[in-house]
Structure 1
Amino acid sequence: MKPSQFAKGFQARPDTTSSEKRTALDRLNAIDDLVTSDTQPSTKTSSARAETVLHAVGSSNEATHVHESAEYRQWRLANSYQPGQVIDLDLKAIKPSPFNPRHFYLKASIAELAVNLAKQGQQQAIHVIPDYANHGTYFVSDGGRRVRALKEANKETVKAVVVDLPIGIESYKLGYDLNVQRDSQTVFDNAVVWRRFLDENHFQSQKELAEHLGLDESTVAVALSLAKLPESIMQEMVARPDRFGSNMAYHVGRYHSARGVEATLRLINRIVADDLSTRQVADIVKGRANPQEASRPATRQRYAQRMEIKLGGVAVGDLKSYGDDRIELRLRGLTREKRDELLRQIEKMLQPD
């Protein structure tokens, strides 16, 4: 079976050189290396990647991207735009990409970001791709959450970098790579988007999709099995990524097939409230236990106290104490910097005097 046209984009990247294979993520990072809040991109940079991405940037409007597409070049010259330049665009001109790797956006997270943007303004530019068929409009390549938050904050413009990527596999893979780095890509996003890819014949088979994503076919199969779930159930699990990874979600999906929506929502609530393990949920699915029995195992120690922890008014986890000498801290949604600083502080506290 021949690979689909969409899938071929994984194998033949326009930014691949004979000496080094470069990804869309490399190109975007190189552009980011050149962007500052006060100056235009410079021809001087210590980034080797940036040197391959831009050729004579800042010298004139005739500066040419090493692998610049004809459409992007025409748009860039018509708009006097330099690669990496941050510009203000009308929010009404921004639209979601049909190849956005994200499907679910938490309302609480968007609301929190909207408050932050209203107070501090937009600190990081989004990345957009011109819609060449509809002049003056742009697809979001990276920054869908910021766009939603800016709209909620009643802003009219957005700071953006216009990038040279085709809407399709390369733009999808770029967003997917970025989200994986941030730990924000969920199995539920994958379930919905990958199912759509197959339904729209962008890939001819589950195996082809797995091969071009560089994943095991079993990983793709588990995600696709979740696509059968109603979004109301997926939304409940998306809100607790610390509790619902692919394995737990798989068992919840099996439970839904046998018991329906209402029973599944009750099970999800029980999993969160009583901290059920994946094995306990698997036993429920297999009929070895019911949710009430599994939530109170004789050998499972109940916590003595529980304190919910919030960051910017949004719950990010909890701290539980057990007996006289044990505590358990679970947090999610932290930035890498906050996580690392917290680990350093805990390590410092535990050092002997």
Structure 2
Amino acid sequence: MKPSQFAKGFQARPDTTSSEKRTALDRLNAIDNLVNNDSNVQPIAPASRTEQTLHAVSDDLANHESAEYRAWRVGHGYNPGQVIELELKAIKPSPFNPRHFYLKASIAELAVNLAKQGQQQAIHVIPDYASPGSYFVSDGGRRVRALKEANKETVKAIVIDLPIGIQSYKLGYDLNVQRDSQTVFDNAVVWRRFLDEKHFQSQKELAEHLGLDESTVAVALSLAKLPETIMQEMVARPDRFGSNMAYQVGRYHSARGVDATLRLINKILSDDLSTRQVADIVKGRTAPQETPKPAGRQRYAQRMEIKLDGVAVGDLKSYGDDRLELRLRGLAKDKRDEILRQIEQILKPN
């Protein structure tokens, strides 16, 4: 896709919906609410709709589908909204995925849940017409990673009609914003790439096409200068590191470097500092306590991943000569109690 086409896609996105022109998110919601009684794999937890509404939605989607999608759909005997099983090895990330950061702990926790309960919600994929048999993830990248972590071979999916590019990016972005899972750090990395690849000529143009204030885009882009090691520390605590706090941390990093910034992040968490307090530290009005706190940002010397039945449930880390840290999650109660009894037995005085 040429840069001008990419930018044009932003501009063409309507602010309001109509029966003639749906946004990607509207089309996805419409697809999700189709009930296909003839498919072997039924849609998961479908919303209740009258037959009249279902027919209207189905007709609307059919009237607006692309020629490529229609050819694929007819060739595969696929009905819009149908949930099918695809091999995980056929699924690949989209180059226009709005997410950049995926927390390992979150993926591991979801993997445990999927191993126990199975996949409860279908992902959405787009056929790669240039590589028949493969699909781009439009929505559900976290579930795909967790299914692989759980050693699954297939994924339940709905195949949707969107071009890979701005529409698929906006769909994923809108869904993530609704779930509160889109972070300023994801925006920082992805928007910086959009500019570097000349999809947009300036942050002002990017802001206009995104429908955001230029200051919002500017703050996100300023964070793109941070090393990923620092961003990863803040991504893990989105409740503490919103745009304003992250911006102050970014300013501190520009002046003090990586190690001092990691210590500041640790102090923000341990002392529950406010954005104003951090701003004062950045401006030099107050100084962060540099007194040796053993907690600091000590790095582990060794890490061992722990798996139960082939599924990652946590890890065991060693620090220095005298500290061990065991973290497990998603355990059944009987397994948890058994592990506790064994640890108590090991630590029991002779």
Specify the TM-score bucket, using the shorter chain as the normaliser: 0.7 to 0.9
- Taking structure 2 as the reference length, the TM-score comes to 0.76
- The within-5 A match list for 1:299-314 is none
- Assess if the C-alpha contact under 8 Å between 2:9 and 2:167 holds in 1: yes
Residue of 33, 39, 54 corresponding to 2:58 = 54
2:84 corresponds to 1:87: yes
Deviations 1:9-63 (A, max 9, x none): 1233599987665211111011111247964799x9449886554229xxxxxxx
- 1:277 alignment partner in structure 2: 274
- Assess if the C-alpha contact under 8 Å between 1:52 and 1:66 holds in 2: no
Q: 1:52 to 1:283 in 2, by over 3 A?
A: farther
- Assess if the C-alpha contact under 8 Å between 1:27 and 1:49 holds in 2: no
Q: 1:47 to 1:237 in 2, by over 3 A?
A: farther
SS in 2 for 1:9: helix
2:25 corresponds to 1:29: no
Q: 1:157 to 1:211 in 2, by over 3 A?
A: same
2:104 corresponds to 1:107: yes
Q: 1:40 to 1:149 in 2, by over 3 A?
A: closer
- The within-5 A match list for 1:1-353 is 4-13=4-13, 21-35=21-35, 39=42, 45-46=49-50, 53-55=57-59, 65-292=62-289
Query: Distance in 1 between the 2:88 and 2:185 partners?
Result: 27
RMSD between superposed Cα atoms in Å: 2.7
- Assess if the C-alpha contact under 8 Å between 1:55 and 1:66 holds in 2: yes
Q: How far apart are residue 204 of structure 1 and its match?
A: 1.7
Query: Distance in 2 between the 1:274 and 1:15 partners?
Result: 43
- Assess if the C-alpha contact under 8 Å between 1:84 and 1:161 holds in 2: yes
Q: 1:18 to 1:109 in 2, by over 3 A?
A: closer
- Assess if the C-alpha contact under 8 Å between 1:94 and 1:137 holds in 2: yes
Q: Which amino acid aligns with 1:109?
A: S
Q: Which amino acid aligns with 1:89?
A: L
- Assess if the C-alpha contact under 8 Å between 2:17 and 2:26 holds in 1: no
Q: How far apart are residue 290 of structure 1 and its match?
A: 0.9
SS in 2 for 1:65: helix
Q: 1:277 to 1:137 in 2, by over 3 A?
A: same
Q: 1:211 to 1:136 in 2, by over 3 A?
A: same
Q: 1:22 to 1:114 in 2, by over 3 A?
A: same
- Assess if the C-alpha contact under 8 Å between 1:226 and 1:250 holds in 2: yes
Q: Which amino acid aligns with 1:88?
A: E
SS in 1 for 2:108: helix
Q: 1:283 to 1:95 in 2, by over 3 A?
A: same
- Among all aligned residue pairs of Structure 1 and Structure 2, give the percentage whose two residues are the same amino acid: 83
Query: Distance in 2 between the 1:257 and 1:48 partners?
Result: 60
Query: Distance in 2 between the 1:158 and 1:16 partners?
Result: 33
Q: How far apart are residue 4 of structure 1 and its match?
A: 2.5
Q: How far apart are residue 260 of structure 1 and its match?
A: 0.5
Q: Which amino acid aligns with 2:127?
A: P
- 1:317 alignment partner in structure 2: none
The structure whose RCO (Cα within 8 Å, separation 6+) is larger is 2
Q: How far apart are residue 203 of structure 1 and its match?
A: 1.3
Q: How far apart are residue 171 of structure 1 and its match?
A: 0.3
Q: Which amino acid aligns with 1:253?
A: G
Query: Distance in 2 between the 1:229 and 1:35 partners?
Result: 46
- Assess if the C-alpha contact under 8 Å between 1:53 and 1:67 holds in 2: no
Q: How far apart are residue 5 of structure 1 and its match?
A: 1.6
Q: How many residue pairs were aligned?
A: 286
- 1:344 alignment partner in structure 2: none
Q: How far apart are residue 6 of structure 1 and its match?
A: 0.5
Q: Which amino acid aligns with 1:10?
A: F
Q: Which amino acid aligns with 1:28?
A: L
Q: How far apart are residue 197 of structure 1 and its match?
A: 0.5
Query: Distance in 2 between the 1:69 and 1:200 partners?
Result: 27
Query: Distance in 1 between the 2:284 and 2:133 partners?
Result: 57
